[in-house]
Amino acid sequence: MASMTFREVEGSSLKYWMLFGGTGLFVLFGFLSYLYMHHHGHVVTGMDNQIVWGLPHVFAVFLIVAASGALNVASIASVFNKPMYKPLAPLSAILALALLLGGLLVLVLDLGRSDRLIVAMTHFNFMSMFTWNVFLYTGFFVLVGLYLWTMLDRNVKAYSKAAGTAAFIWRLTLTTGTGSLFGFLIARQLYGTAMLAPMFIIMSFAYGLAIYLMVLVAAYAWTGRPLGDAVMMRLKTLLAVFVAAVLYFVVVYHLTNLYFAKMGSAETFILRDGGILTTLFWVAQIAIGCVIPLVILLTGLGRQRSWIMIASALVILGGIAQMYVTIIGAQAYPLDLFPGMTVKSSFYDGVIHEYSPTMAEFFLGLGGVAIALLATIFGVKVLRLLPVNLDDATIAKLEH
């Protein structure tokens, strides 16, 4: 790393400020959506007392999960001591912080009464995973921030491996906690399973790396810096492994549910009779998010940078669809209190709940994505996060 030179992005060109302003415009739309929902209440959304986590939560959980995965490149560099990944680590860390910031802001602004966050931060119920996640999220900011400091400041560089190891362990714990938010819930038929915790971890690997790849390529293309094929081929192979693992866990999750008789009707709803949810599962989550990217990445198409970008974008779209099916689908299907029997009452027992997200929800969620991008764009301008040169010759020197 002694021969590797890092430089900030100049950030004075018209192209940079157009990107900054365009991203900021989506942040403004998200803020206006929050004000609209805050003033009128959640009655102006598609959410109700049955579907309490709507589209903003889909975006928020996706960003939080992807934040953990975006740190994967830095973890490989420090924890597993892979020289090729070390120059890629600073961008990995700042992107992880930015994604988590965007996701948490959406969660906070979707509370309805944002000031109630004070209650959540001062009154703790340690029997609840929501309480534990408050500490996991804040701890992630602290540890990854310290890890980034050790990478940027030579005076504390000796502590980089220790900080990276701590951040690696914490991020696995954080994603386990996020998956356990759903895995510990037994009031929804499709939640309440230990499978969700490891599945969320591997999902984070795929989503975070796909976002990292797109940001890396865009940053080097727009600044005119060399980015060799050695980096791209290594990262795209890693992405293929993660996407295949996500597909494996999804198959095992649904096969496990199908094995139990009490889960048969819920699985039938998702896999066959769920309407838009079933379409999103098979077309968006499985085909677009897993199968097509694997075909691209594992064939000759994967040697072309443009196709790698297409595959990464498809993984991201499939990931959002997977979050939608996981979060909305499980709430839409009623809890089967007495398997094999019909239960009807005035409390929506046995009723499949409809949900149609509104534009306000969409722009609030999109605002979180824009905040993450804006933070990253600003970060590469003020901090030395990007190596000047990542061509094949430079990478070869690092590895020998």
pLDDT per residue as tens digits for the range 258-291:
998 888 888 999 999 999 999 999 999 999 999 9
Helices (H) and strands (E) in the chain, counts: 16, 2
Cα 395 to chain centroid distance, Å, stands at 28
Number of domains in the chain: 1
In a domain, 112, yes or no: yes
In a domain, 354, yes or no: yes
Cβ atoms of 207 and 312 closer than 8 Å: no
What local confidence, expressed as pLDDT, does residue 1 receive?
46
In a domain, 284, yes or no: yes
| Other Cβ atoms within 10 Å of 355 Cβ, number | 20
What local confidence, expressed as pLDDT, does residue 13 receive?
82
| Other Cβ atoms within 10 Å of 399 Cβ, number | 9
Q: Which stretches of the chain drop beneath a pLDDT of 50?
A: 1-2
Provide the whole-model pTM. 0.94
Q: How far apart are CA 334 and CA 348, in angstroms?
A: 8
In a domain, 1, yes or no: no
* DSSP assignment of 290-334: IIHHHHHHHSGGGGSHHHHHHHHHHHHHHHHHHHHIIIIIHHHSP
What local confidence, expressed as pLDDT, does residue 2 receive?
44
Domain of residue 65, residue span: 6-229+237-399
What local confidence, expressed as pLDDT, does residue 149 receive?
95
In a domain, 65, yes or no: yes
In a domain, 289, yes or no: yes
In a domain, 164, yes or no: yes
| DSSP-based three-state secondary structure for 54 | coil
In a domain, 335, yes or no: yes
CATH number, domain of 156, equals: 1.20.1630.10
